[in-house]
Every structure is written in C-alpha cells, then in structure tokens.
C-alpha cells in the first residue's frame, strides 16, 4: 500500500509538471481535478468567445449566433485537451489583448474622422 500511494504521488507530480502555466495554476488550486477541468474548459470557452466577438463577429440573426456558439463550445472541448500541454489560454489572452488594442485604436480613428468631418 505504501508503494502504491508513493507511486500515485510521484505520477501526480509528473503530470502537474507537464501542464502549462495557467492550467497548472488552476489544477493546483482547485478543490479537485474534476472542478479544475471544468474551470479550464469554461475559461477557454470564455476566452474564445471574447476573441471571436472582438475579431470575427458580424451582425447575424439570433439563431445563427446560437449555431456559432454551439460550434465554438464543441471546438473548445478539443482546445481544452490542447491546453493541458500547450499554452492555449496564454495564447488566447494575448490574442484578446491585441484585438482589444486594435478595437480601441479603430474606435479612436473613427471618432477623430467624424470630428474632422463635422468641422
């Protein structure tokens, strides 16, 4: 019995060392691994939805948006598996920050252009 528990702890440490930054943080601080998996999944889904909304969304009907978000939800299942060994969440955060900066600059340029047109 002692060997089995030592083996489990050793394997657990090895698996945690294989995880990337944010995923490792979530798995180390969540109450159990099931909750940590859901946290990682929903974090990826929210980040993907933000990136989609900032960079790719167009005006669509309500039912078309529902279909897109269902497909996004299914695709995030695959991304969750990638997030365990690749920096997916970190990449999505960087993509969201870049798109936020782009949208702010675009908004400012439109505001300045409309102010110049009214003069």
Domain residue limits, the chain: 2-118
Per-residue pLDDT of the chain (119 residues; tens, 9 = 90+): 344 444 455 677 777 777 888 888 888 888 888 898 899 999 999 999 999 999 888 888 999 999 999 999 999 999 998 888 889 899 999 999 999 999 999 999 988 888 887 76
Give the chain's largest Cα–Cα span: 82
> Three-state SS string across 6-29, please?
HHHHHHHHHHHHHCCHHHHHHHHH
CB atoms within 10 A of CB 49: 17
Separation between Cα atoms, residue 17 and residue 106, nearest integer Å = 41
- Whose CA is closest to 20, among 44, 42, 45, 50? 44
Report pTM. Answer: 0.80
């Amino acid at each position: 019995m002692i060997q089995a528990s030592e083996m489990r702890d050793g394997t657990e440490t090895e698996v945690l060392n294989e995880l990337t930054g944010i995923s490792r943080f979530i798995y180390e601080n969540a109450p159990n691994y099931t909750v940590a998996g859901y946290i990682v999944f929903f974090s990826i889904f929210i980040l993907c939805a933000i990136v989609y909304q900032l960079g790719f969304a167009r005006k669509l009907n309500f039912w078309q948006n529902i279909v897109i978000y269902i497909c996004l939800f299914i695709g995030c299942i695959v991304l969750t598996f990638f997030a365990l060994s690749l920096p997916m969440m970190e990449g999505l955060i960087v993509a969201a920050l870049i798109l936020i900066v782009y949208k702010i600059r675009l908004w400012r340029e439109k505001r300045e252009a409309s102010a110049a047109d009214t003069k």
